[in-house]
Amino acid sequence: MAKQAETVSNARLNQALAACKSDREKCLVLLSTKAGLRAVEIAGLTWSRVDLEERKLLLATTKGNKPRTVPMSRELWEALEAYRRSRQGHTGANDPVFVNTQAAPGKALTPNAVAVWFRDFYRRRLGWTGYSSHSGRRSFATNAAKKIVIAGGSLKDVQALLGHENLNTTQRYIETDEDAQRKVVDML
């Protein structure tokens, strides 16, 4: 089994956001870390699928071809709102949220282009190894699992947010935390 991508700690997320050179880059990072989107989902996002009024993403292009809705954090919502304003004239319902700026200017980014962007961003700009486009998704899963009970939910809700058919898949995404294990045992 291949080694899983590293998760992005809160401190590293702050470093990554500080390293972003544009609203576009900030949105890419936040869609991964704060909404748990896969590269294919980021690449397939059109403005008709970004509901800024209701603060939710309506995902149609998913791994399992099963649409799902993901609520947006305030931080992601603000970033997408700022990015949309900067893309004046290119935010029609069918316009891709992210377009290629190099190889095929104006065309939607491909899933591979998104994955390459994350690899280069983490490795070249930040000097991190072991990170990929899936790092943010794993971080989202871990953070959601830690906080879902506080919000009155369960791991089934994390599973739904990630779009997994099987809870076992979701569990493989979640990092363990020895300190949390110790705290919960002390609470019993």
pLDDT score at 102: 78
Q: How many CB atoms lie within 10 A of CB 117?
A: 19
Residue 182 appears among annotated catalytic residues: no
Residue 173 appears among annotated catalytic residues: yes
Q: What's the pLDDT tens digit per position in 146-177? A: 998 889 998 999 998 998 888 888 888 888 88
Residue 137 appears among annotated catalytic residues: yes
User: Cβ distance 35 to 50 under 8 Å?
Assistant: no
- Out of 24, 38, 49, 138, the active site residue is 38
What pTM did the predictor assign? Answer: 0.89
In DSSP terms, 99 is beta-bridged to 108
pLDDT score at 21: 97
- Mean pLDDT computed over 100-108: 80
- The residue extents of the domains of the chain are 10-187
The region, left, alpha or beta by phi > 0 then psi within -120 to 50, assigned to residue 36 is left
Residue 56 appears among annotated catalytic residues: no
- Out of 84, 173, 182, 183, the active site residue is 173
| Interacting residues of 169 by C-beta distance below 8 A, sequence separation 6+ | 159, 162
- Out of 24, 26, 134, 138, the active site residue is 134
- Out of 63, 66, 85, 183, the active site residue is 63
The pLDDT-based confidence of 71 (bands split at 50, 70, 90) is: very high
- Out of 24, 26, 34, 137, the active site residue is 137
- Mean pLDDT computed over 115-138: 97
* CA distance readout (Å), 154 to 124, 149, 158, 159, 170: 37, 6, 7, 9, 12
| Residue 16, pLDDT above cutoff 90 | yes
| Interacting residues of 108 by C-beta distance below 8 A, sequence separation 6+ | 43, 44, 96, 98, 99, 100
- Domain 10-187 fold is hpI Integrase; Chain A (1.10.443)
Residue 164 appears among annotated catalytic residues: yes
The pLDDT-based confidence of 117 (bands split at 50, 70, 90) is: very high
